[in-house]
Each structure stands twice: as structure tokens, then as C-alpha cells.
Structure 1
Amino acid sequence: MTKFQIVLEFGNNKYLVIIMKKINLIIKVMLIILTTAVSGLILEQRVSASTTETTKSNKRQIPTLFFHGFGGTVHSMDYLIDQSQIDGYATRTLTITVNPQGKVRLFGNWPKSAHNPEIQILFLNNHESDYHHTAKWIDATLKKLHQNYGVTRFNAVAHSWGNNAVLYYLETYSQKKNQPQIDSLVNIAAPMQVLNRDIYRRNDWRYSKQLNRDFRTYIEPDSTIRKLHIRELNIMGQLTTEDHFDKAVPVASAQSLQRVFKGSHQTYQARLFTGPRAEHSALTRRNPKVLHDIENFLWNRP
């Protein structure tokens, strides 16, 4: 039987075709090859599109960092972190410890698929009252998160003395090159003014002139904090409507934050709670109304 060969090319693929005496066989072979090539092209496009969509969906969401106060422990912010996960708003991921020398260690797992990731920060020297030092530890923590996970923006929830460290960090470190920038901030029971010696006898920093000097820096019209793009929620507590005091921080001290967040790209909200669950530590450990406000503020954004 007479036969001859031809070579068909589709892109980088070559196909050797042996032609028999019936012409319709040639046509069938060519149609099969053409169909295969087109199907392969379509499949390649679908795989490419799927890969792109997966990459986009796997981009990590903005993490929320939780900072305890003076004497805080691993349990100080557990209620807020764990309950918001139970409520379906967020996912607990990493626990980060920082030693007094600023060495950062990460524990746990942060998958890219984590929904509104929560990160607990623990300072191993939890009785460091010089929040200038604590602010350096926050800087080291954010550098590590930027280096390991590409974090460029973050939320923060701070309690008590941790608020002073966060604000000093924002004023002193947030303009550094490649520094992650804050998006939303929740301040809980923030002692922004000098506190009564009868409340804190053990530590000079709690009633030092430095506290007032730093605060005056924050409220300057050209302060670094005023230039930040930030949403702020200020949560305060009082045991009764008569004492205006949460057993540790006077309401007037915490209210001072309204003088800080007046920048053109900033919003300020305040919540005042009253009763036993508005006690200084109870605000973070057993107050569902505080939890509800934080959840809505951070993760139910319009």
C-alpha cells in the first residue's frame, strides 16, 4: 500500500502523520490533533487563572496583635482572642514572646488561609514599667512579622500599661523605613496621665514627669501619631457612676486619648462601661459587651 509522511506543527509540538490512501483518514487525524491542541490551550489558561485566584485568596489578612498590661500573663487577653474565634470573627494563630533583650520567638502556626488572624504578644519581663523599653520590643516584634510573613499593616488591642508602649511605639518608630503601619487601634483602660501614688506605689514611671512629657508630644499638631491613617476605639471602665474609676485608672486619664487622635486621616470612638465587669482587669477577661464592641469595630467594618 502506498503511503507517505507529513509533519504538522502546533506551537512547540510536532506531530508525525502517516497518510494512507484514503483522504478522509487524513482529515480525521488532523481534526484529532487540532482538537487536542485547542483543549490543551484552554486547560492551560484555566490552570493559570486558577493559580492566580489561589494566590490572591492566600494573601494574608491584616493581623490583630494583643498587648497585655503591667503584670499581664498568658491569660490576660485569652478571653478576647478565644471568644472572637468562637464567634467566627477571627482565628488565633501565633503566640510571640519577647525577652528583655528584645529577642523574639514565635510559637504556633499562621496559615495564609487564616481569617482575621489574631496574634498574642507576651513580654517575658511583664513588670517592665518603662514603656520606652516595651516600645522597642514592639518594634522588634513587628520587624520579625514583616521579615517572616510580609506584614505591612496591623491592628492592635492594648490593655492598661500596654497602651503607653503602643502609643510611644507609634510616635517613635512608625515612620521608619519598611515599618508595618497600624490600621486600627483598640485602647482598653489606658492610663495616659500621671496616676495617683496611692494606686501605684511600686513604680516611679507610673507617676513620673516623663509620662506627661510624652503625652504632650502626642497631642502636638505635627506629631507622628497625628499623621497616621488610623481608626481608634477607646474603651473605658468605671465601677460606679459616682467614682469614675475602674479601680486602677481614672476615667479622666483614659479620656485623654480623645486629644490625641485628631489627625485628618483619623477617627475616634469611645465606650464607657459601668459596673463590676467594668473593673480594670474584668474589661478584658469577662465582659461580653467589650468583646462585642471590639469584634464589630475591627471586623464588621462597612
Structure 2
Amino acid sequence: MKKWIWGSLGVILIGAVILQVLLLWGTSEQPLRTDNLHSNLEYSDVPTLLIPGWGGNAWTYRKLITSYQKQNVAQKTMTIHVTPTGKVKVKGTVAKKKNALIQLIFDWNYTKDYQPQTVWLTSVLKVLHDKYHVTRLNIVAHSWGGSAFVHAMADSKSLQREISFPKVILLGTPVDEGVDEGVSYTKAQKQKTTDQNYEQLIKKFQKFSPASTITFYNLMGSIDGEQTDGSVPNVQSMFLKNLLHSDWARYYQAVYANTDHTALHQRKKILENIMQILWSKRALVQK
């Protein structure tokens, strides 16, 4: 009986290890076909960093990357792994690559909050600038990955000076987690937050001085007609507006019906909208 138990545990453990390896395996790269480019899209030298949320892995943006490469819209040219100790490992390049996608993977992404990811992401951004000469970078970030990015930006004066972030797309990102679900944005403005991280952000953004204008796209989901994607209340995401100043920021938001937290990086409609935001030659209408 004991042998059977230990044998079963061994099989489960091996299966778990194999699954984790697969979840950390970066999406395959497929270069752009230069003889079949879309005339309605820009092919830009500005790369895009794909940041997963809590528990996110290579699967988070696999559909996005695969779809864009299949449509000949963009190409994944770099994979960045961050070890549990914070070591940054880079494979690939963005030099002379049009519409380059950078797939970021945290090898251990099951932390109690997003503070470790904030530190790791700061290191990633510094490596991209110092070693790969990235001075302009678009961002797509899901959930706590977006929270980590906003904090990394606010925490580092050097990043504010050295890297421009033309377009920042946040997918279901909580900014003020001290707001309860069901409270309207207007009403929540009058309440005192219990989120100390948000209070710190407010102070830091008063001194925020980016290298150039940042356009933020705050994309949220709604399930069962409620103002929540099932994991993050939309009002928590909307508090991003409180951090921004018209001198250096533009702000757009959209709420997608029948869309839960995971679907924000999986639904075809949203992937098409992200593509339009990043590379369309047509100006987007504010929502």
C-alpha cells in the first residue's frame, strides 16, 4: 500500500514538474514576412513588452503572439526569464526588428503580492535600456503585472528619464485595491482608501516626470452585467486616472461585456483592439 502511495505521489510530482516546464516554455518565434506587410498598419522600431499577471506564464500571451505572427502583424524576437532570485536572463534581440514582441516570464510568479514583480520588472527595464539600448517601449500588462509596471515607473527616476513609454495597455489592472466592489468611481473618490500602496503612488506621481507623453489604455472586463471581471472590480482599475496629469498623459478606457479576467488576454476582439492600438495608422476614438 505504501509503495502504491509513494508511486502515485512520484507520478504526480513528475507531472507537475513537466507542466511547470511547459508553462515556462516561451512561444515560438516567427519572423515577419516582408513581402506581405499590411498597408493599414505601421511597422515600428518600438518594441512591445508583454507582462503577465500573478500566476501568469508563457501561456498568458501565447495566443496573442501566435495570432499576430500568423497575421504577419508582429514578431516575437526576445524572451526574458526572471529567476526566483531576480536574475534576468535574455534570449534574442530587438535591434532592427519591426513590431518586435518581448515575452516576459517570471519563473516563480506565485508571490503574496506584486512587490517582487515590481523589483524584478525594474531590473528587466534597466537591462533592456543598458544592454539592449531600448529607449522607447510599448507595454501590454495584465492584472498585477500592470500594477507592478505602474509602481516600477513611479519608483525609478532613471527609468522615467531613460525610457519613453508611448503606449501602455493595462488589462484588468488594480490600482487602488482599497475600493470595494459595487462602489461607483464617483462615490469611491469621496472615501478614504485602505490601500497603502495606492497612497504611496499618489505621492510619487506628484513628482512624476516622464521623458515624453504616455498614452494609457485601460481595458476592463464585465461579467453578468456587473462592473467587475470576476477578479478585479473595474473601479479599482479606474483609479489609474487619479495618478495622471494632462501635461504628460492621455487616457482611454473601455469595458468589454461578457469578459472575465482571463479573457482580457484571450478574446479575439480584445486582441484585435490591442493590435489596432499598437500599430494602426488610424486614430482611435476615446472611450
TM-score, normalised relative to structure 2: 0.71
Q: Deviations over 1:235-282 (max 9, x none)?
A: 0001132x211110111111222222333132111111011xx11011
RMSD of aligned C-alpha atoms?
A: 2.6
Match of residue 35 from structure 2: none
Structure 2 residue 71 is the aligned partner of structure 1 residue 87: yes
Equivalences for residues 225-264 of structure 1 within 5 A: 229-241=213-225, 243-264=226-247
Cα distance in structure 1, aligned partners of 2:202 and 2:114: 16
Q: Which secondary structure state, in structure 1, belongs to the residue aligned with residue 244 of structure 2?
A: coil
- Give the CA deviation at 1:234: 0.7
Match of residue 216 from structure 1: 202
Structure 2 residue 252 is the aligned partner of structure 1 residue 266: no
Tell me the amino acid that sits aligned with residue 161 of structure 1: W
Equivalences for residues 282-301 of structure 1 within 5 A: 282-285=263-266, 287-301=267-281
* Structure 1 pair 86–170 and aligned structure 2 pair: CA distance change class (3 A): same
Cα distance in structure 2, aligned partners of 1:168 and 1:139: 9
Runs of 4+ aligned structure 1 residues displaced above 4 Å come to 195-198, 225-228
Tell me: higher relative CO, structure 1 or 2? Use CA pairs within 8 A at least 6 residues apart: 2
Q: Are the equivalent residues in 2 in contact too, given 1:70–1:129 (CA < 8 A)?
A: no
Q: Are the equivalent residues in 2 in contact too, given 1:175–1:224 (CA < 8 A)?
A: no
Match of residue 52 from structure 2: 68
- Give the CA deviation at 1:160: 0.5
Match of residue 169 from structure 2: 186
- Give the CA deviation at 1:293: 1.2
Select between 87-96 and 155-164 the one with higher mean Cα deviation: 87-96
- Give the CA deviation at 1:87: 2.3
Q: Which secondary structure state, in structure 2, belongs to the residue aligned with residue 269 of structure 1?
A: strand
Cα distance in structure 1, aligned partners of 2:142 and 2:209: 19
Q: Which secondary structure state, in structure 1, belongs to the residue aligned with residue 174 of structure 2?
A: coil
Q: Which secondary structure state, in structure 2, belongs to the residue aligned with residue 212 of structure 1?
A: helix
What percentage of aligned pairs have identical amino acids?
A: 27
Structure 2 residue 62 is the aligned partner of structure 1 residue 78: yes
How many equivalent pairs are there?
228
In the alignment, structure 1 segments of 5+ residues that lack a partner are 1-59, 199-206
Q: Are the equivalent residues in 2 in contact too, given 1:174–1:180 (CA < 8 A)?
A: no
Select between 92-101 and 163-172 the one with higher mean Cα deviation: 92-101
Q: Which secondary structure state, in structure 2, belongs to the residue aligned with residue 126 of structure 1?
A: coil
Q: Are the equivalent residues in 1 in contact too, given 2:79–2:102 (CA < 8 A)?
A: yes
- Give the CA deviation at 1:79: 1.5
Cα distance in structure 2, aligned partners of 1:129 and 1:70: 9
- Give the CA deviation at 1:176: 4.8
Cα distance in structure 2, aligned partners of 1:197 and 1:163: 19
Match of residue 201 from structure 1: none
Larger radius of gyration: 1
Equivalences for residues 1-302 of structure 1 within 5 A: 61-107=45-91, 109-110=92-93, 112-176=95-159, 179-194=162-177, 209-217=195-203, 222-224=206-208, 229-241=213-225, 243-275=226-258, 278-285=259-266, 287-301=267-281
In the alignment, structure 2 segments of 5+ residues that lack a partner are 1-43, 182-192, 283-287
